[in-house]
Every structure is written in structure tokens, then in C-alpha cells.
Amino acid sequence: MPITIPKLGIIKAFAMIVDINHFTRMVAEDDTRMIAQFVRDVLSGPIAAIERYDGEVVGYMGDAILGVLPTGDGTASACFDIAKDLDRQCEYISNHQEDSPQDWAFALGGPSIKIAIEYGAFDVSTINSRFLGTHRLLIGDAINYASRITSRGVGNRCHIGPTAAGIDPFTGYTLRGPHSVRGKAREGVYTYYEFDLGDIWIEGRREKGKETFWG
């Protein structure tokens, strides 16, 4: 059953940010005006995965989405599904570029993404705009934490905050870490763990026999 997000109140959930790597560079290099459709295609898989495991996507941030999920099992499963979907996209784009290298030239070999997860409480209200209508507004330290720990590492990666790392099923996985990243002024240090998604978590090919590596 999908997570219930009230119009006003407090919920506890897993925050998941899925963010496309090197988006600023992609936009700067986009001469084909395919970037919006590319972003749509890349993020559609993560959106479907979050919703498949009873979560909801509660925010769009240009090249990223924010989702909340009710359980650790669903959150971990969504991570694996996101990696599998990305793998399929990389395979399709990299094979297509062997004959048509000009297509998606801003993302040689396909997309690369980062995932960040943390668990916590969210204060919920609503916000309105003429164009978007009424939306839930979620505020919580777990969202800020997930945002901060996306900044470390290169290529495809999945980072887990310390609270989420202590909750099943993440306690049963081999998590690399702890690692740390310094936040903005007066924020201190953020600790995180690397969640290994295995062989399904690969980079796309720039050409036959070679892999791209987007930071």
C-alpha cells in the first residue's frame, strides 16, 4: 500500500535522491535539444521503481528527483531496480552510438547517476503555485543529509546515511565505509556508507570494449 503523506503532520520514511551525474556539462554541450527528453527517460525508471515499492516522488529538482519510501526492504529493492534500468539504458545508447555517435553526444555511452538515502522524520505541509497547483512540501534533516552525501565519489554510486545503514535490510548488506564529507560552513561532517549494487551497476560503453566513466 503506498505511503500515506498527510497535508499537515509528521511522517517517518526513507528519503531517496536520484541525481544525474555531470548534468551541467550535458546542458552546456547540448546542441541537439534532446536534453529534456533524455532527463525524462533517465528519471522515469527511478520514478517507477520508487512507486513500485509503495513510495512516492515528492519533488523534481531539474536533473534529480526526491522520493520517500516507507520500508527498508522496499528502498533497497528500488535501488536494485534503478541500477538495472540504468544498465538497460546504457546498453541501448552505447550500442546505438556505435552507428550514430552524434545522438546523445552529451552522454557518451549512456547516463550515469548517483543515489543517496537517509531515514528520518519529515514535517509535511502544502504549497501552491498557479502552474503546478497544490503540492506536498516535505522538510526534514534526512533530505538535507542525503543531498550532502551525493557530493562524494565518481560514476554510478549509491550512498547510505548512518541512520538508514542501521536499519534492516541494510544491516545485512556489506556496506563500505564509513566515509565522510564535510558540509557547508558550520554544518560539520556527514558520514555515509557505499551500497554495492553489484554487476548490474555498470557504466555505459563509449565504444566497443571500452567503458565510459562519468564523475
72: domain range?
A: 9-199
pLDDT of residue 30: 60
54 pLDDT band, cuts 50/70/90, is: very high
CA angle 153, 155, 159 (to 5 degrees): 50
Residue 139 lies in a domain: yes
Position with higher pLDDT, 123 vs 61: 123
End-to-end CA distance of the chain: 36
- Note whether residue 208 is domain-resident: no
75: closest CA among 160, 153, 147, 11? 160
Domain harbouring 195, CATH code = 3.30.70.1230
Q: CB within 8 A of 97, min separation 6: which ones?
A: 103, 104, 108, 109
Domain count, the chain: 1
Say if 2 falls within a structural domain.
no
Mean pLDDT of 81-92: 91
Whether residue 1 lies inside any domain: the answer is: no
Residue 213 lies in a domain: no
Is residue 47 domain-resident?
yes
Decide if 126 is inside a domain.
yes
User: How does pLDDT run across 88-127, given as a tens digit for each residue?
Assistant: 888 888 888 888 888 887 888 888 999 999 999 999 999 9
Percentage of the chain surpassing pLDDT 70? 91
Provide the pLDDT confidence category of residue 210 given band limits of 50, 70 and 90.
Answer: low
CB contact burial 179-190 (16+ within 10 A = b; e otherwise): eeeebeeeeeeb
Q: Partners of 211 in the beta sheet?
A: none
Greater confidence, 106 or 143? Answer: 143
Residue 3: inside a domain: no
pLDDT of residue 75: 98
